[in-house]
């Protein structure tokens, strides 16, 4: 990824002790020296509370807080970035009368704010609501792997007078039998994905994006998600979803020779869409999991629905999590070890003419109903170079006979074109809005 000049600028500003500037990366006094002992003191009571207020010299950030993702690069951050612990998804609609000029100014503000926040700096700047001060929500925290990713919905192009530049990949998704879609929580002119390994850092970014929108755009819908916190397991592991299943084993890997071809839009095919080169398409689905029904199934039956062992994600045909599925292997009874309607079988690329997508979801929980039913599930986000060759054919096949479908309900949906990354000195979407 490119962007050394931006990174150097950030490092310089954090180290030169500018008068009056409060860096979000300045840590509480003893965080770096407490080490493992600090964990014990924290469990014991107020000792660390006192230590955290002492006026000791700043010390190094912990590994979680110090991790910084670069804003500038060939691709936007938040696509191949490892899963973060906290996430916010928010869609905006342009206000009446706002067009291309206003959208360009908004993307310029958003990009500038995202660059600062991802570098661990305060969000000071020319906020659209007239306030130029940082809210202080994330003071003393480091970047915490924060990423901010921007996308455009199909309606964005009509409202900015750019209908001729709308790529064919933004054609509407077809309906599916498991859809129970809420239009008010679907689609949108603009989409922002925020992820971080600290909840306050993530909320700080969300609040900044909202403030910078000002009168140019209003929130259409917003969703909150989470994943396992880095370091919570003895070794790095594939995430689990709220059904308890290892989720993401079959994802394409950046090391794969065809990864870029599957996930990112190439340039040079059509000048009208070259603004999307290096970008991708995001399909966003709020998928409710019917957990009460799912949890009534014995573990063995859950495994047959998925096609993988619950304990370690290994295919029922044998091996470990990363062992390739043997879709033809049968047991002593002559039956397929991975049932013909198992989710892993039906969604496998080899059963979908090679169709693949990079799934990068967050779990969500939005409360418990009066009858005790949890409103919980998956904020499904998948990335691909062409949704008509990625998400759509796989979902069509799942729609026709997936054993998991009775335990899921798709309640919201969106499709967004995500431009390539911004070069140093550019803002996201500049190649579209200023061409």
Confidence (pLDDT) at 55: 52
Q: Closest Cα to residue 324, out of 337, 333, 315? A: 315
Question: Which among 140, 189, 247, 402 is annotated as catalytic?
Answer: 247
Residues 6+ apart with CB under 8 A from 115: 6, 71, 72
Q: Which residues pair with 288 in a beta bridge?
A: 377, 409
Q: What is the pLDDT at residue 11?
A: 40
**217-226 and 86-94 strand pairing:** antiparallel
Report which of 422, 431, 415 is spatially closest to residue 190, judged by C-alpha positions. 415
Q: Check residue 406 and report its DSSP letter.
A: G
Q: What is the 3-state secondary structure (H, E, C) of 212-260?
A: HHCCCEEEEEEEEEECCCCCCCCCCCCCECCCCCECCCCCCCCCCCCHH
Predicted pLDDT at 229: 93
Structure token digits, residue 427: 């803002």
Contact between residue 198 and residue 68 where contact means Cβ atoms under 8 Å apart:
no
SS3 (DSSP) at 409 = strand
Going from the C-alpha of 226 to that of each of 14, 182, 230, 248, 250, the distances in angstroms are 29, 22, 12, 15, 21
H-type helices in 350-425, by residue range? 391-401
Catalytic residue list contains 247: yes
Q: Judging by DSSP bridges, how do beta strands 374-384 and 280-289 pair with one another?
A: antiparallel
What pTM was estimated for this model as a whole? 0.85
Mean pLDDT, contiguous 10-residue spans, the chain (435 residues): 43 40 41 37 37 49 89 98 97 98 98 97 67 84 97 98 97 94 98 98 98 97 96 91 95 94 92 96 98 98 98 97 96 96 94 91 98 98 97 95 96 98 97 95
DSSP 161: T
């Amino acid at each position: 990824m490119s962007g050394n000049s931006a990174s150097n600028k950030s490092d310089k500003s954090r180290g030169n002790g500018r008068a009056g500037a409060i860096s979000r990366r300045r840590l509480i006094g003893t965080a770096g020296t407490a080490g493992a002992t600090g964990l014990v003191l924290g469990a014991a009571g107020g000792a660390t509370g006192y230590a955290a207020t002492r006026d000791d010299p700043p010390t190094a950030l912990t590994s979680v807080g110090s991790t910084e993702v670069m804003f500038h690069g060939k691709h936007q951050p938040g696509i191949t970035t490892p899963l973060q612990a906290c996430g916010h998804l928010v869609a905006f609609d342009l206000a009446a009368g706002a067009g291309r000029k206003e959208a360009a100014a908004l993307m310029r503000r958003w990009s500038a704010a995202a660059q600062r926040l991802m570098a661990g700096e305060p969000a000071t700047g020319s906020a659209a609501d007239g306030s130029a001060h940082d809210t202080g929500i994330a003071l003393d925290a480091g970047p915490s792997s924060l990423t901010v990713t921007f996308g455009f919905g199909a309606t964005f192009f009509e409202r900015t007078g750019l209908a001729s530049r709308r790529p064919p990949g933004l054609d509407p998704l077809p309906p599916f039998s498991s859809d129970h879609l809420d239009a008010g929580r679907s689609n949108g002119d603009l989409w922002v994905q925020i992820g971080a390994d600290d909840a306050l850092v993530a909320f700080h970014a969300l609040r900044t994006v909202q403030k910078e929108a000002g009168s140019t755009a209003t929130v259409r819908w917003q969703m909150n998600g989470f994943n396992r916190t880095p370091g919570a397991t003895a070794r790095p592991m594939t995430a689990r979803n709220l059904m308890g299943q290892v989720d993401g084993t079959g994802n394409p890997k950046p090391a794969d020779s065809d990864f870029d071809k599957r996930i990112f839009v190439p340039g040079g095919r059509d000048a009208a869409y070259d603004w999307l080169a290096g970008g991708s398409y995001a399909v966003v689905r709020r998928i409710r999991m019917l957990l009460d029904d799912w949890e009534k199934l014995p573990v063995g039956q859950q495994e047959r629905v998925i096609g993988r062992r619950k304990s370690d994600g290994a295919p029922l045909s044998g091996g470990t999590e990363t062992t390739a599925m043997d879709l033809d292997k049968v047991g002593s009874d002559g039956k397929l070890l991975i049932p013909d309607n198992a989710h892993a079988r039906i969604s496998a690329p080899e059963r979908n003419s090679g169709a693949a997508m990079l799934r990068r979801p967050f779990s969500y929980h939005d409360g418990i109903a009066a009858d005790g039913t949890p409103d919980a599930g998956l904020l499904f986000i998948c990335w691909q170079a062409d949704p008509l060759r990625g998400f759509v054919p796989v979902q069509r096949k799942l729609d026709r006979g997936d054993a998991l479908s009775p335990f899921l309900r798709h309640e919201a949906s969106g499709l967004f074109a995500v431009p390539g990354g911004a070069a140093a000195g550019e803002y996201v979407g500049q190649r579209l809005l200023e061409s």
